[in-house]
Chain A
Amino acid sequence: MIKKIFLVGNPNVGKSVVFSRLTGVQVISSNYAGTTVEIMRGFLKLGEQEVEVIDLPGTYSLEPGSKAEEVVVSLLNESTKNEIAVINIVDATNLERNLYLTLQLLEAGLPVMICLNMCDEAKHHGVSIETEVLEKIIGVPVVPTCAVTGSGIKTLVEKIKEVKIKPRDKSSHRDRWQSIGEIIEQVQRLTHRHHNLREILEDASVRPFSGALIAIAVMFSAFKIVRFIGEGLISSIADPVFVNFYQPLLNKLSLFLGQESFLHHLLIGDLIDGKIDFKQSLGLLTTAPYIEFAMVLPYIVSFYLVLGLLEDIGILPRLAMLLDNLLHRIGLHGFAIIPVLLGLGCNVPGILATRNLESRRERFIAATLISIGIPCVALQAMIFGLLGGFSGFYVSGVYVVLLVIWIILGVILNHTTKGYSPELLVEIPPYRLPSLSTLWKKLFLRIKGFVIEAAPLVLLGVLIINVLLYFKLFDLVTGIFAPVVHGLFGLPKEAVVALVMGLFRKDVAVGMLMPLALTVKQLFIAAVLLAISFPCAATFIVFFKELGFKDLLKATLIMCVVALLTGTLLNFIIH
């Protein structure tokens, strides 16, 4: 009786897409190794019975090399063999390398079947595989599929019950490759084709000069497109909706409640020049939804749209190669660029993605650098809102300062953190044309995740601030921190509230700076300080879960020192 189905396979063979197809559970999939860092579970109806389906992180072998791989091995070892089925997902374009894991699974005596995925792509590459012959040789069912379009999935489900334990003798690495060579010879036919444009581009993007040019062009246009779409959504949709439809309703409510009431203070906030000002009123129904939906959400949409495209085309692992040199100097290797880029969206998935890095030292350095030097998209959107009105110099200034901090801190951490950092060893996927449906699903999932996670926190944040402001409880805190904030950073002491609030939720904090009528210099310093401190309460939690209390404490201390030094320095340099 099968109770659990495990999806096992090399990195980037499409396990998550198969998982989505089998269970209907939507998960994020991309075109690079290591998208799945958490184990995903879902259910599949197999006849009368509901069977649990488990999507495991990709692994090259059953001898684990990273934390993600360890998880796979221990889960497989824990389960009773006659209650599980292992679907070994194999990339048809790269059968040879994939079979290594297949043989290990068979040797381990696990009940296996093979899902030969990406069959359509293999055809394009001029690879044809004789499924029946393969089935005969290794003795377990083989089903060709194309998970992105869904073809073959039905047959896959029908054949799950036919999984077999087909034990092979344990063999040495060499012998395994030897048998693979023999198998490949019998089942795989290659048609030679000329280099096409895609392959020429693929090669160009890993060569030093052309690669750097391509990378710079891609990153620059990505940034421009994110801003263009973000601004476009704000000025053509979000702002008009708030001003034309929402504001009249609030005006009525404001009149009804009366300006002096506590409820008015909570829901609407203060009237600025007798009118509701979405950016400055600081009410639960005014500033809170405006920050989330009119300032941050448009950028979340545009950022994740562009990131999704880059992920699915397969550009990120190539960036990893080009940046390996630089990242080496700060104790990481090139692949760490992927968690960092994810961190630009939200630090939480960024820190989770550090699971793909092998050593603990690397994970600590990467997670610390992400939480200190990488501003999340919510914060960036607010910085655009805060500083965008002044010359572009200030917005780019924030990024420059962060980059400098990032590199200096990285070099210091590299020299002071104990442990070892392994070197880059990663597979580069082919460029792929993104599938619109995958792209759309991924965008939807990420936006949904953001709204569910952020909206309640923002409301809570604004509520707390309002209550504290109303009862004038902030004066205590501001009094304590005023010497630092005012004396060293040159900020008014009211900014203390925003900076402290920043540890809870960044967008709220920036929202609180807006009514303070700061000078450009003060805004700039405040923006940098907010960017340095951890983005939100959720980041603290995920950091703690991933790296433990001691490392969290260390990172927090580092953050305080960096913030203190940078704030003071900027205050005295800028005139």
Chain B
Amino acid sequence: MKANQKGVIADITAGACLHNKFMSMGIYKGREITKISHIGLKGPVAIKVGRSVLVLGHGVANKIGIEIHD
């Protein structure tokens, strides 16, 4: 997924605890997100979910599968 691209969350492969945290922050299946940027060398990813900007560590970001339309 490239910067400034939009996509829909297709699947999340996380344990119950992280899953809950994702949920409470508005990251769930079917949600549309926009990627803002990422830092190279397995660095974190910044995404926009609704009106908030979230930063996810590389490993956390890897657990979220995105379906890109367009």
Which A positions have Cβ atoms within 8 angstroms of B?
60-61, 63, 65, 93-94, 96-97, 100-101, 125, 127, 173-174, 177, 202-203, 206-208, 211, 317, 320-322, 324-325, 328, 333-334, 423-428
Contact = CB atoms under 8 A, between A and B. Distances in A.
A423 B21 CA distance: 12
B65 interface: no
Contact of B55 (A96, A317, A325, A328): A317
Nearest to A328: B57
Contacts of B38: 208
B2 interface: no
B25 A60 contact: yes
B53 A427 contact: yes
Given A61-B24, A325-B42, A97 B52 contact: yes
Nearest to B28: A177
B26 A207 contact: no
A321 B39 contact: yes
Interface in B25-47: 25-26, 28-29, 31, 36-44, 46
29 contacts: A60-B21, A61-B21, A61-B23, A97-B26, A97-B52, A100-B26, A127-B51, A173-B20, A177-B26, A202-B53, A203-B36, A203-B37, A206-B53, A206-B55, A208-B43, A211-B39, A321-B44, A321-B55, A324-B39, A325-B42, A325-B44, A334-B55, A423-B56, A423-B58, A424-B60, A425-B25, A425-B55, A426-B55, A427-B54
Interface residues of B, number: 34
Contacts of B25: 60, 97, 425, 427
Contacts of A127: 51
Contacts of A93: 51
A333 B44 CA distance: 10
A333 B55 CA distance: 11
Given A94-B50, A206-B37, A206-B55, A424 B44 contact: yes
A325 B41 contact: yes
A362 to B, nearest CB: 12
B3 to A, nearest CB: 8
B59 A423 contact: yes
Nearest to B60: A423
Interface centre among B31, B43, B55 (most CB of A within 10 A): B55
Contacts of B56: 423-425
B51 A63 contact: no
